[in-house]
Amino acid sequence: METSFFDSGIFLYLVLPFLIFLARICDVSLGTMRIIFVSKGKKNIAPFLGFFEVLIWIIAVSKIMQNVNNYACYLGYAAGFATGNFVGMIIEEKLAVGTQLIRIITHSGGQELLERLNSSGIGATIVKARGAREDVELIYTVVNRNDLADVLQMINDFNPKVFYTIEDIRSTNEGVFPPKKPNTSFLFGKMLERWRGGK
């Protein structure tokens, strides 16, 4: 009696663990993004991601329960979980969702840096403060995440040794921001840009 492909050793110990591995990458990546969107208050996106996250997870777990003695499935499940965390963080980084606060502390030239930021369309506020050794200037600016690299480059060009910190912001109201640019670093951004160009 011939054995079907789905009962063969190739499927049970190679194909099935690989499919579970891929499923775990998908559901953990979605889970990582869902948590990030929840922390940023994106109420419409998080439930949508959660639905597919759990659906894929149930399918993967059900296959493991059907092959409980197949340890290759366990390895695929664990490897997919680890890889999914990594992939999810990369996707979130490419999406560059949200805004961030940059707090800059400089001993001199704060007004010059402020003018550079403002001339680039970036709103910033300067405050006089007292540091551990001397008076300092404290500059606050809130930027979109996809503009963060450009702003940091501007700060480092001004003074590569300047001290600054970066914090995530849940939401903003009003403010001065540079014109939004399409996020072409991500696949969907590239597709959107081509679609707009063809119109």
CATH code: domain of residue 147: 3.30.70.120
| Domain membership flag for residue 195 | no
| Domain membership flag for residue 186 | no
pLDDT digits (tens, 9 = 90+) for 35-70: 888 877 777 888 899 999 999 999 999 998 998 889
- pTM above the 0.85 mark? no
- The residue from 95, 124, 146 where one domain ends is 95
- The residue from 95, 120, 142 where one domain ends is 95
Question: Which H/E stretch holds residue 100?
Answer: strand 99-106
| Domain membership flag for residue 22 | yes
Q: How many domains does the chain have?
A: 2
Q: Return the number of other C-beta atoms located less than 10 Å from residue 75's C-beta.
A: 13
Task: From 126, 119, 131, 120, select the one nearest 104 (Cα to Cα).
Answer: 126
Query: At residue 117, what is the residue type?
Result: L
Q: CB of 32 within 8 A of CB of 92?
A: yes
pLDDT value at 196 more than 60:
no
Query: At residue 190, what is the residue type?
Result: K
| Domain membership flag for residue 103 | yes
Query: Whole-angstrom Cα distance, residue 88 to residue 94?
Result: 10
Domain shared by 117 and 51, yes or no: no
| Domain membership flag for residue 182 | no
Domain shared by 43 and 106, yes or no: no
Domain shared by 76 and 126, yes or no: no
- The residue from 66, 95, 124 where one domain ends is 95
Output DSSP code: residue 179: P
| Domain membership flag for residue 104 | yes
pLDDT digits (tens, 9 = 90+) for 104-161: 998 888 899 999 988 888 889 899 988 878 888 999 998 888 888 889 999 999 888 8
Domain shared by 82 and 157, yes or no: no
Helix axes 45-66, 71-95, angle to 10 degrees: 170
pLDDT digits (tens, 9 = 90+) for 153-189: 999 998 888 899 998 877 666 555 565 655 544 444 5
- What is the span of the domain harbouring residue 160? 99-169
Domain shared by 15 and 82, yes or no: yes
Task: From 64, 69, 67, select the one nearest 81 (Cα to Cα).
Answer: 64
pLDDT value, residue 103:
94
Using CB atoms within 10 Å of the CB of residue 57, give its burial: 0 to 12 exposed, 13 to 18 middle, 19+ buried.
middle
